[in-house]
Amino acid sequence: MKLYVVRHGETDWNVAKRWQGHADIPLNALGHAQARETAEALRGIPFTAIVSSPLSRASQTADAIAALVGLPVETEPLLIERNVGEMSGRTVEQWRADHPGEPFPNAGMELWEDVKTRGIAALTACAKAHPEEDIVVVTHGGLVRAAAEALLTEAERPAEMHLTNASICRFDYADGTLSVVYYNKTADELRVE
């Protein structure tokens, strides 16, 4: 089965480079436009379900896809973004200005290895809930990146693991195993596939 994993559209905090984590920040105007563009790119793919993180930036992106294809949106709590603790709402520059010379904070931040484990568990749960179906999963950049890093060897990883807002990654699930087929495709790139 195929999982088309979509990062949510842009938010104002993305623009300001603020760490969002569990903060429930909605899409901005460009984010809504990106969501509609991604929905159009996915329109020709025969998927049968849409599963989303409960945070509004993901659910609004999923709603744009659902509106175009006429499917309901299911929610999977495991798809929520990484808990960033005291970094929520702050930029790296703000933190460094307030804490010169100190190492980056870990207080309250979900460990990266735990995000990798949860990312794999979340995508696997989505796949198991829809056996033999191709689905769209809408989630967050940190979770997708963590899952991809867990599955790809260092040599297989793209040079840049950042995900563009509203980009699409494809994971396949077969015989109880996830694999990464492609990473960080834009709507335009997906249309030519």
Q: What would the pLDDT profile of 139-185 be if each residue is shown by its tens digit?
A: 999 999 999 999 999 999 988 899 999 999 999 999 999 999 999 99
Complete domains list, the chain, with CATH: 2-83+110-191 (3.40.50.1240)
Q: Say what the pLDDT of residue 96 is.
A: 84
Q: Say what the pLDDT of residue 128 is.
A: 97
Residue pair 157/172 in contact by the 8 Å Cβ criterion:
no
Return the active site residues. Answer: 8, 81
Q: Say what the pLDDT of residue 189 is.
A: 86
Q: Say what the pLDDT of residue 95 is.
A: 83
pTM recorded for the entire structure: 0.94
Walk along the chain (193 residues) in steps of 10 and give the mean pLDDT of each run: 98 97 98 97 94 98 97 98 93 87 80 97 98 97 97 92 96 96 91 59
Q: Say what the pLDDT of residue 192 is.
A: 52
Residue pair 181/158 in contact by the 8 Å Cβ criterion:
no
Instruction: Sort strands 49-52 and 73-75 into parallel, antiparallel or unpaired.
Output: parallel
Work out whether the CA dihedral 152, 153, 154, 158 comes out positive or negative. negative
Residue 109, strand partner residues: 84
Q: Is 157 exposed, middle or buried (0-12, 13-18, 19+ CB in 10 A)?
A: middle
Query: How many residues make up the chain in this entry?
Result: 193
Q: Which amino acid is located at 21 in the chain?
A: G
Q: Say what the pLDDT of residue 193 is.
A: 56
> Rg for the chain (alpha carbons), in Å?
16
